[in-house]
Amino acid sequence: MSPDDKIVNLQTVRRVAAPAGTLASSVYDRLRDDILSGALPPDDKLRTEALRERYGVGNSPLREALNRLSADGLVTREDQKGFRVAKASRADLEDLVKTRCWLEEIALRQSIENGGDDWEEAVVLQYHRLSRVRRSSSEDQYVVNFEWEARHRAFHLALLGACGSRWLMQYCAQLNDQADRYRQLAIVVSYPKRNELTEHEAIMRAATTRDADEAVRLLLGHYDRTAGIIKKSISEFGGTSASTP
């Protein structure tokens, strides 16, 4: 069995892809995954004592992880009140999708123009890996499949990987994470009505045949369709239960 086949969740993906980091980095990864998957919902109060118990760490690495997540925009800091999971709103979603479309159109066009055989092979490989895993961990209902989530992220970032700008890639990756958080709020409702794999395949084929206009059209349509599903599926963002993690 290849190392790729042994990936079972997002934490494992990171351990395979990079050397083990500090304790704070481990806590950061676990907190980030819980926020992106919806296990810690929008506007949830992040109580230090409960988080220490949940992740089995002390104050120092937990504080460092929370500060990093605050810089990423996934957590907000309240003066004298600690931290909360960032709120979610329709206005924020619309701004996020608009900004993501702006930046990724530039990155995708640059990748198609400048990417060589290695870039094409990376895009095809990441699509192939994504196509091999189920969208849900359960056949009867939607249960988050962390392996699918990791491969989905890898595919979308591979499309942009030859844009030639480290900063642009960094911003696109951050927006990708923010969009994943919104997507998890609605996937339970939309699954299995949507065949995302067909959409991904069309984007992959347009990109690797160097049809920039078609690839951009398909990618932006993919994001607009996702945003529409989220807005129809979720009656209200924010104001969610601030239950103890």
- Predicted pLDDT of residue 13: 37
What does the alpha-carbon distance between residue 111 and residue 169 come to, in Å, rounded to a whole number? 11
State the virtual CA torsion across 114, 120, 122, 127 in degrees, nearest 10. Answer: 130
Residue 238 lies in a domain: no
Asked whether residue 206 falls in the same domain as residue 159, the answer is yes
Residue 241 lies in a domain: no
Question: How far apart are the two ends of the chain, measured CA to CA in Å?
Answer: 36
- If you compute the radius of gyration of the chain from its CA atoms, what whole number of angstroms results? 18
- Predicted pLDDT of residue 183: 84
- Predicted pLDDT of residue 81: 80
Residue 242 lies in a domain: no
Residue 172 lies in a domain: yes
Structure tokens at 212: 């920039």
Domain that holds residue 221: 90-233
Residues 6+ apart with CB under 8 A from 87: 42, 43, 76, 237, 238
Residues 6+ apart with CB under 8 A from 61: 22, 23, 24, 26, 27
Over its length of 245 residues, how does the chain's per-residue pLDDT go in tens digits?
Answer: 444 443 334 443 333 333 334 888 889 989 988 888 888 988 899 999 999 999 998 999 999 999 999 988 899 998 778 899 998 888 889 999 999 999 999 999 999 999 999 999 999 999 999 999 998 888 777 778 889 999 999 999 999 999 999 999 999 999 998 898 888 876 765 656 677 899 999 999 999 999 999 999 999 999 999 898 888 765 544 433 333 22
What does the alpha-carbon distance between residue 26 and residue 21 come to, in Å, rounded to a whole number? 7
Residue 131 lies in a domain: yes
Q: How many domains does the chain have?
A: 2
pTM of the model: 0.76
